[in-house]
Copies of this chain bind each other. A is one copy, B any other.
Amino acid sequence: MTDTAPRSSKAEQTRQSIIDAAMGLFRSGGYDQATMRAIADEAGVSVGNAYYYFSSKEHLIQAYYDQIQAAHAEAAEAPLSSEGDFTGRLRGVLLAWVDVAEPYHEFAGKFFKNAAEPSSPLSPFSEDSTAAREAAIELHGRVLDGSDLKLNKALREELPELLWLLQMGIVLFWVHDTSDGQQRTRDLVDQAVPIIDRMLRLTRLPGVRGVVDDIVGLIHLIRP
């Protein structure tokens, strides 16, 4: 979607101040409280100007998403550089997301609601989310690249996207998770990761191989 590189410093400053204002208001009062009037006011710009930079309130959230995504990419560096085996790397990356997203959990449901609508630019499957989605998938590619997993080529190619889907599933669980510090989501990650590891290693088993090939075929069939 939008390029992250700064254009003219003035414009970029304005843009950023709007994002910052939105961030602050989202955080303190949730999505509904943060009206476009309030955001513009807090940023010291006019409503019209806010709309000049963000064509809708949803697009403003998108910027917010991008920021979480960037923070996740950064937080994921630690496990990606220190962990060598697949389980450690995947767990590290997934838990890094839970850490990064924790402050927003309270009102994430509101975001999620908007993101669930297929036509919304906020949908993780949408055109507008392509950049963020691909960055996230790429991150899972790196989980695999540095790991000790041996996989057949066709599966290896699909796996980053599948791991991203897994992450979306964890996000789904996470938004419904009301436990303290989203501990249940962390438990889910802890337990699920070794199972996934074992499942992936099973894919080399004679009886399993054929099914894996069919699954890869299915993925190709349904990909847009």
Residues of A within 8 A of B (CB): 109-110, 112-120, 123, 125, 173, 175-176, 184, 187-188, 191-192, 194-195, 198-199, 202, 205, 207-208, 210-211, 214-215, 217-218, 221-222
Contacts and interface: CB of A to CB of B under 8 A. Distances in A.
Given A109-B117, A112-B117, A112-B118, A211 B195 contact: yes
A202 B198 contact: no
A76 to B, nearest CB: 23
Contacts of A116: 112-113, 115-117
Contact of A214 (B115, B118, B198, B221): B198
B221 A187 contact: yes
A143 B124 CA distance: 32
A191 to B, nearest CB: 5
A117 B125 contact: no
A215 B195 CA distance: 7
Contact of A202 (B184, B188, B208): B208
A202 B211 contact: yes
Nearest to A113: B117
A176 B119 CA distance: 8
A192 to B, nearest CB: 6
B221 A199 contact: no
Contacts of A207: 202, 205
10 contacts: A113-B113, A113-B114, A116-B116, A187-B221, A187-B222, A188-B221, A191-B214, A198-B210, A198-B211, A208-B208
A-B pairs with lowest CB-CB distance, top 9: A116-B116, A113-B117, A109-B118, A118-B176, A191-B218, A109-B117, A198-B211, A195-B214, A113-B116
A207 B210 CA distance: 16
